[in-house]
A and B are shown apart, each in its own frame.
Chain A
Amino acid sequence: MAYSVTFLPDNKEYRINSDKETILDGAARTGIVLQGMCGGAGTCGRCRVILKGGSVRLDNGEIVFAGSTAAQNVLACSAYPIEDVVIEVPETSRLKEHQIKVSDDSSWADDTSLTLDSLAPLFHWIPLKVPEATLDDFEGDWERCRRQLVKERGRAVRIELEALRKLPVVLRQGDWQISCGVFGNENVPVVIDFAPGVNPPLSCGLAVDVGTTSIVAQLVDLKTGCVLGTAGTFNRQAAYGYDVISRIVYAAEVPGGTRRLHEAAVDTINNLITGLINRAGVAYEDIKVTVCAGNPAMTHLLAGVDPSHIRIEPYITAANSWPALDAKDLGLRMYPAGKVVLLPGVAGYVGGDIVAGAVVAGLNRSEQVKLLIDIGTNGEMIMGNNEWMVACACSAGPAFEGGGIGCGMRAMSGAIEKVEIHDGGEHVRYQTIDCKPPVGVCGSGLINGLAALHRAGLIDRSGRLVRHAAPSRMRRSTAGLEFVLAFAGETGHGKDIVISQSDIDNLIRAKAAIFAGIQTMLNLTGLNLEDIDRVMVAGGFGRYLGLEDAVAIGMLPPLPRERYEFIGNTALKGARHALLSRVIRKEMDTLARQVTYLDLSSGNEFMEAFTAGLFIPHTDLSLFSSIGK
């Protein structure tokens, strides 16, 4: 049975062909991305839509007709059309496009660690003068090229079918002078393209940070290393779950789930590509190679490989080191015989994004002990120097990205990013992104807010809200005490923005996990906090983070300010470096193999450190004595 689903106000239509497809799936297929923290489990209530026409069957078998009261409140993830339907998607249920702040240091020349001399991109053109075929010299076109290539370069090469299809025409077009497009990632380079003449055309590469929340892509001129454009957007997989685990569950438990998530990621990247090439004035076919850095789950899903075993003990990936994939197999909008490189990971919860970050942060080339922390849902961290490295993932949870927090939101327009509390909690001043009226609080605002609440004496060290403090803002709700950050009259959505006790508990758990991860790695290596020479904080989040507050709440160790460095999106930078330098690419492979992975779920050391961290700043006050009582 096929039904049509019309989405308003977009006026987009989708035909649902199976009785297993929900309104949510339909919306995703038409490019309307709904919120879905729970991964379509029907529990978070964020994908609410209004049924304007027709009727749907809910998960529980109930039928809802347009015009009824229930039609005002249909969860898209649990509603199946039983005839043609019209659906209105309210603004509040949509995942909003958010601005990815693109760093300014994206030009290749700015990198001190790499110079143009070491430019050795994954794809390059080799100009070639091929001896013309004659009746006496009747070797095939490819053998002829290969002989010349081996003669000039001294290396064996392979060829892809797509290139072979082009060769006879190109060879004669160029009058036996051609450019061979070589993908040089593997031991045996492979020819994937030909162009007539020895002045090769433009070749581009794409570096992609495949994040759970957002995907950022950067178009790079492979010959010069120049960045031609950067674009980012939310990961469309978000409609199927907010965090890695709910996506893995979706992939494992919903028939066709892996494929849908794969398509959602590819769609997201393709959309970014379209924007990038239009702005740069290049063609899809000019993109010869793409390097993706993502966590293991994202990497699996991008490749369309079932990630379900990552979630189940003993947490095994399908692969840590991925073969180069064909663009056409993935469906990426680029040169079809182009290659897609997925950066290698370490284990189930430490992936290519962190490996890329570690190389960018120079851990493998440093004599000093460096600690790289990616403050995000998975809380990956890697510590070490040129002799040893340890990595772990402390699963801090989505709190810092706004998940699991009543008023939480991602760092986008209208998010409170800074909070000041005065007069014992009677007055609150805040700063929002883009100076818009507040609609929620993002990670940096939450960390800053938690520190401010503690400073103002509104929460005790265990994070409990103090009952009789600040009577005008502290109040009791059905779920316990809550503190009002912004009253309905000031906000962008006309509702109070509050921090509840359970929000605070979630934040404290998240910060405790990060510090406990650091402590567990230190214990394993027999080092003390002071032995860390540099702490490099990565992630889109790191850019806005208030260091003093992060230390005050005990999330980051109280080390001298100058040891900290915010290095922004290292995954993207690492992907770009891998595109442009085979040396860097090799370093990532080596690093991924050499890192010692610390599984925090085995043994009770992490759990103990975690419990000790469920306190402001920490149960072991002496660790944080430098910041006073």
Chain B
Amino acid sequence: MSVQLVRERWNGSAQEMTLGRHPHAVKVGGESTLPFLHFEGSMPNRPVLALEVTDTSPQDWPGVLSEPYREVMGDPVHWAMACEKEGADLVALKLDSCHPEKENADPEQAARTAAAVAEAINVPLIVLGCGDESKDAEVLPIAAKALQGHNCLLGTVTADNYKPVVAACIEYHHNVVATSPLDINLAKQLNILISDMDLPLHRIAMDPSIGPLGYGIEYAYSIIERMRIGALTGDIMLSPPVICMVGEEAWKTKEAQSSDVPEWGDWKRRAVLWEAVTASVLLQAGGHIMVLRHPESLALVKAQIDDLMRK
């Protein structure tokens, strides 16, 4: 006896974003179904994984995380090349040096670093600011200019600093990461504000501010799921692809940070799994770009995506 599968029919789809340049351009999004339900609709592009690189040696990375990058840390160009070699679909360069409470580096200097990294790798580049809203509003436009022609993804911007960054993305042809604090309405509002400046929706990636496994991942899951269902039901302002800063959040957890709790199992394995599981959960919710830190979690998640994309 054959069973007739019940199929959900949607009338919308997610935006398809293109990052980088030919022949190494990467496409994300564009699906007309919930994640990996290939029988219900098309999922033309697989979710992609980025590895994170910082322009200074990070101080708060635990030993098991900095170990694989021991030889390249402090040298963002070689670090990025190492990430590409590990199989990252993209490299996410974080311009930490610009933070006013850290090195407060000159935006021009940071932009030069970003350009050098972009030249050294083939995969597309994501450039993330230092997280200080007003400094990022200064740094990112300068980086955008230096990266002209690379079709990068720049961010993150908030409702308070999006204007100069979006203007630069339009002028130098980049894409922008719009971040909002775990709130579907605020995410949507920021998309409207940005598209009011005439940056098309397929050049926006939404960062919903995720929580890692055990630290509020269910909120992130539900927001991402609502974003995706919004896109599929025709709410165009929720249709941009979703980027998740997985590594940054997962490596903050005490499970990833604690070296001295043997009853929790092997530290490195535990920490890597924490990052990988966080990413795989958010992929199920509908995330498109996962920014990771450890090469082994990259490999784990990549293998899982391979499985899930098999029709």
A binds B: yes
Cα distance, A464 to B183, chains bound together (Å): 19
Residue pair A460, B237 in contact (C-beta under 8 Å): no
Residues of A within 8 A of B183 (CB): 611
Is B309 engaged at the interface, CB distance under 8 Å to the other chain?
no
Residue pair B185, A608 in contact (C-beta under 8 Å): yes
Is B160 engaged at the interface, CB distance under 8 Å to the other chain?
yes
Residue pair A621, B196 in contact (C-beta under 8 Å): no
Shortest distance between the CB of B288 and any CB in chain A (Å): 22
Most buried by B among A462, A464, A608: A462
Residues B139-191 near A (CB distance < 8 A): 159-160, 183, 185-186, 188-189
Partner of B237, one of A608, A614, A621: A621
Residue pair B186, A461 in contact (C-beta under 8 Å): no
Residues of A within 8 A of B189 (CB): 461-462, 614-615, 619
Chain A 585-600 interface mask (CB, 8 Å, partner B; 1/0): 0000000000000000
Is B25 engaged at the interface, CB distance under 8 Å to the other chain?
no
Is B192 engaged at the interface, CB distance under 8 Å to the other chain?
yes
**Chain B: which residue is nearest A466 at the CB level?**
B163
Residues of A within 8 A of B159 (CB): 462, 464
Residues of B within 8 A of A522 (CB): none
Chain B 220-249 interface mask (CB, 8 Å, partner A; 1/0): 000000000000000001000000000000
Is A612 engaged at the interface, CB distance under 8 Å to the other chain?
yes
Residue pair B237, A611 in contact (C-beta under 8 Å): no
Residue pair B196, A619 in contact (C-beta under 8 Å): no
Is B193 engaged at the interface, CB distance under 8 Å to the other chain?
yes
Residues A583-629 near B (CB distance < 8 A): 608, 611-612, 614-615, 619, 621
Given A464-B159, A464-B160, A621-B237, verify A611-B185 contact (CB < 8 Å).
Answer: yes
**Chain B: which residue is nearest A612 at the CB level?**
B185
Given A611-B183, A621-B237, verify A461-B196 contact (CB < 8 Å).
Answer: yes
Cα distance, A621 to B188, chains bound together (Å): 10
Residue pair A461, B193 in contact (C-beta under 8 Å): yes
Residues B265-301 near A (CB distance < 8 A): none
Cα distance, A396 to B202, chains bound together (Å): 37
Residues A433-474 near B (CB distance < 8 A): 460-462, 464
Given A462-B159, A464-B160, verify A619-B188 contact (CB < 8 Å).
Answer: yes
Shortest distance between the CB of B214 and any CB in chain A (Å): 23
**Chain A: which residue is nearest B160 at the CB level?**
A464
Shortest distance between the CB of B111 and any CB in chain A (Å): 23
Residue pair A461, B192 in contact (C-beta under 8 Å): yes
Residue pair B193, A619 in contact (C-beta under 8 Å): no
Residues of B within 8 A of A614 (CB): 185, 189
Residue pair A621, B192 in contact (C-beta under 8 Å): yes
Given A608-B185, A611-B185, A611-B186, verify A619-B160 contact (CB < 8 Å).
Answer: no
Chain A 16-48 interface mask (CB, 8 Å, partner B; 1/0): 000000000000000000000000000000000
Residues of A within 8 A of B188 (CB): 612, 619
Cα distance, A614 to B185, chains bound together (Å): 9
Residues of B within 8 A of A460 (CB): 193, 196
Cα distance, A612 to B183, chains bound together (Å): 10
**Chain B: which residue is nearest A615 at the CB level?**
B189
Residue pair A462, B193 in contact (C-beta under 8 Å): yes
**Chain B: which residue is nearest A608 at the CB level?**
B185
Residues of B within 8 A of A615 (CB): 185, 189, 192
Shortest distance between the CB of A317 and any CB in chain B (Å): 33
Residues of B within 8 A of A611 (CB): 183, 185-186
Cα distance, A612 to B188, chains bound together (Å): 9
Residues of B within 8 A of A619 (CB): 185, 188-189, 192, 237
Shortest distance between the CB of B134 and any CB in chain A (Å): 12
Cα distance, A614 to B160, chains bound together (Å): 15
Residues A460-513 near B (CB distance < 8 A): 460-462, 464
Cα distance, A462 to B193, chains bound together (Å): 8
**Chain B: which residue is nearest A611 at the CB level?**
B185
Cα distance, A608 to B189, chains bound together (Å): 13
Shortest distance between the CB of B276 and any CB in chain A (Å): 32
Residues of B within 8 A of A462 (CB): 159, 189, 193
**Chain A: which residue is nearest B188 at the CB level?**
A619
**Chain B: which residue is nearest A622 at the CB level?**
B235
Shortest distance between the CB of B92 and any CB in chain A (Å): 27
Residues of B within 8 A of A621 (CB): 192, 237
Residues of A within 8 A of B193 (CB): 460-462
Cα distance, A32 to B7, chains bound together (Å): 73
Most buried by A among B183, B186, B189, B237: B189
Shortest distance between the CB of B196 and any CB in chain A (Å): 7
Residues of B within 8 A of A608 (CB): 185
Shortest distance between the CB of A178 and any CB in chain B (Å): 69
Residues of A within 8 A of B196 (CB): 460-461
Cα distance, A502 to B186, chains bound together (Å): 18
Cα distance, A611 to B183, chains bound together (Å): 9
Residues of A within 8 A of B160 (CB): 464
**Chain B: which residue is nearest A460 at the CB level?**
B193
**Chain A: which residue is nearest B183 at the CB level?**
A611
**Chain B: which residue is nearest A467 at the CB level?**
B163
Residues of A within 8 A of B192 (CB): 461, 615, 619, 621
Chain B 179-223 interface mask (CB, 8 Å, partner A; 1/0): 000010110110011001000000000000000000000000000
Chain A 107-141 interface mask (CB, 8 Å, partner B; 1/0): 00000000000000000000000000000000000
Shortest distance between the CB of A18 and any CB in chain B (Å): 50
Cα distance, A460 to B189, chains bound together (Å): 11
Cα distance, A462 to B187, chains bound together (Å): 12
Cα distance, A588 to B193, chains bound together (Å): 47
Shortest distance between the CB of A245 and any CB in chain B (Å): 26
Cα distance, A611 to B223, chains bound together (Å): 14
Shortest distance between the CB of B303 and any CB in chain A (Å): 38
Residues of B within 8 A of A461 (CB): 189, 192-193, 196
Residues of B within 8 A of A464 (CB): 159-160
Cα distance, A401 to B50, chains bound together (Å): 53
Shortest distance between the CB of B192 and any CB in chain A (Å): 6
Most buried by A among B183, B185, B188: B185
Cα distance, A462 to B192, chains bound together (Å): 9
Cα distance, A608 to B183, chains bound together (Å): 9
Shortest distance between the CB of B138 and any CB in chain A (Å): 14
Cα distance, A611 to B188, chains bound together (Å): 11
Shortest distance between the CB of A523 and any CB in chain B (Å): 15
Closest 6 CB pairs of A and B: A612-B185, A611-B185, A619-B185, A615-B189, A619-B188, A619-B189
9 further A-B contacts with Cβ under 8 Å, apart from A462-B189, A615-B189, A619-B189, are A460-B193, A461-B196, A462-B159, A462-B193, A611-B185, A611-B186, A615-B185, A615-B192, A619-B192
- What are 8 inter-chain pairs, A to B, with CB distance below 8 A? A460-B193, A462-B189, A614-B185, A614-B189, A615-B185, A619-B185, A619-B188, A619-B237
- B-to-A contact residues, CB < 8 Å: 159-160, 183, 185-186, 188-189, 192-193, 196, 237
